[in-house]
Amino acid sequence: MTDTLDIALPKGRLGEKVARLLGEAGMGAADLREDSRALVLESDDGTLRFFWVKPADVPIYVERGAADLGVAGRDVLAELGADVYELLDLGLGRCRMCVAGPGGALERDGVLRVATKFPNIAARHFQNKGRVIDIIKLNGSIELAPILGLSDVIVDIVETGTTLRENNLQVLEDVLPISARLIANKAAFRFKYAQIKAVNAALGGALQGGN
């Protein structure tokens, strides 16, 4: 008898894309929609169990073994430094983490005030550059910070660039290219190796099929 694999999926925009890819890989579940009210859903063949969590929580479920597998953005993985295996780049949710602000904002002397949802990534980036910063941790609408004078720059996700453009801000430095990754709990990877490899291969195949 094979064990069920528990898979943590990220709610929101990325989750919709992941649900579609799972369907294309033949691992879908009836009603596997990101807005579904059911907390746990079984795959049609009963071998997989999916549940939706906040994107930033996926690595926590996987690292602690509450989920065997998960799908998480590289931004979230880098921020948390989660102790998990990264199995596959799903190529979904492509965007980049950038330093942004008004033109010339990095040229000013002294301590740089940086607003971000990603304090660890921001701290590492500026530490590597030898720049002293003051991190202001926010939870959303980061672009407002330099506009209102709360910070000099932001470290945030840029996808189309529209938000920056509409707020007269610009990319000043690239920090990290981002896409969604299939991640695995380290113990589960050993004990459920065959099943995890099968999921990995099916997703890889669906991606190669041009999705």
What gap in Å lies between CA 137 and CA 59, rounded to an integer?
Answer: 20
Task: Pick one of 162, 194, 208, 209: the residue that binds ligand PRP (CB under 6 A).
Answer: 162
Q: What are the residue ranges of helices labelled H in the chain? A: 13-24, 58-63, 74-80, 119-128, 144-147, 162-166, 186-191, 193-208
Task: Pick one of 156, 169, 176, 203: the residue that binds ligand PRP (CB under 6 A).
Answer: 156
User: Could you tell me which stretch among 22-30, 32-40, 153-161, 173-181 binds ligand PRP (CB under 6 A)?
Assistant: 153-161
- Asked whether 169 and 102 are in contact (CB, 8 A), the reply is yes
Binding flag, residue 119, ligand PRP (CB under 6 A): no
Half-sphere exposure of residue 12: CA atoms within 13 angstroms, side-chain side: 14
Minimum CB distance to ligand PRP, residue 207 (Å): 23
Binding flag, residue 140, ligand PRP (CB under 6 A): yes
Binding flag, residue 141, ligand PRP (CB under 6 A): yes
Binding flag, residue 102, ligand PRP (CB under 6 A): no
What is the helix (H) or strand (E) element at residue 71, kind and residue range? strand 69-73
Minimum CB distance to ligand PRP, residue 178 (Å): 11
Rg (CA), the chain: 19
Site residues (vs ligand PRP, CB under 6 A): 140-143, 156-163
